[in-house]
Amino acid sequence: MYGTRYITGLVPPGRSVGETLRPVTATASVLLADNPSPMTLDGTNTWLLRGPGAADTVVVDPGPADERHLRLIAEHGPVAQILLTHRHGDHASGARWLAELVGAPVRALDPTLALGDEELADDDVIVAAGLEIRVLATPGHTSDSLCFVLDDAVLTGDTVLGRGTTVIAYPDGRLGDYLTSLRRLAELPHGLAVLPGHGPELADVGTVAREYLAHREQRLDQIRSALRQLGPDATARQIVEVVYADVDRMLWPAAELSVLAQLDYLRAG
């Protein structure tokens, strides 16, 4: 538990947030950050992991630099390590603040995000808070995206969401990498729950990953069809207006990133 000082640069306290730590599995509980939007769904899921009988926790994705949210996380400490699924601010911008407050290292694939300990790598095993957590590199949404595998669940960040599908944040994110990552998730043992960065938990990561793969193939077919209709030099925006015509226009800028990733994939051939 840390003091009551106000931390410069954080979102001021007093807004309504998800104050209840909700248990989801035997070792994972979630706190919902107060940053809902069309891109973040209900907000960012901050996951707290603790093995049976362990005194400390591992925090995955502290979320935005929101003072009240970070205080709530710290109340459930002590914190052994802070892990990041990827660099986007809605997952990572609170990490350094939390590290200062609870005295824990930040670990990520991107070395610029790591603080006080070594960065992570594919197939690393983190031993902390009474758990063994396997690191799975799953680039695609971003180049530094990671998933964390427990005995009964996978924390997927934005690689797999609890509702809808994720954006390929081109050019940092690449569709070819993302398809490979989804195939890797599809090969994990049956029955591992999905603990996503946004939205509700899901029952089986393999099933969801295969659904995501089918969706991506469907989108690629739609892009091919749009190119036949509009011509091979059609812009991403023109394709969005055809393929995503039934999607809220607020999401079109994000859809345009995914279309750019799909065009790059198709044209690389």
Domain boundaries, the chain: 22-211
Is 258 buried (19+), middle (13-18) or exposed (0-12) by CB count in 10 A? buried
Residues of the chain by 3-state class (helix, strand, coil), percent to 5: 30, 20, 50
Give the pLDDT of residue 247: 87
Cα–Cα distances in Å, from 89 out to 52, 63, 112, 119, 133? 31, 7, 13, 18, 23
Task: For residue 4, give both structure tokens.
Answer: 């009551």
**244 φ, ψ to 5°?**
-110, 30
- Report yes or no: 226 and 239 within 8 Å, Cβ to Cβ: yes
| Single pTM value for the model | 0.92
Ordered mean pLDDT values, 10 residues apiece, the chain (269 residues): 30 49 97 95 97 97 97 94 98 97 97 92 98 98 98 98 95 97 98 98 98 97 96 95 91 93 91
- Dist CA 122 CA 139 (whole Å): 11
Q: Please enumerate in sequence order all residues whose Cβ is within 8 A of that of 8, keeping only pairs 6 or more positions apart, or say none.
A: none
Cα–Cα distances in Å, from 157 out to 63, 175, 241, 247? 11, 17, 28, 23
Is the alpha carbon torsion for 256, 260, 261, 263 positive or negative?
positive
Give the pLDDT of residue 12: 39
The CATH number corresponding to 22-211 among 2.40.430.10, 3.60.15.10, 3.40.50.1980, 3.40.640.10 equals: 3.60.15.10
Give the pLDDT of residue 4: 25
SS3 11: strand
Give the pLDDT of residue 152: 97
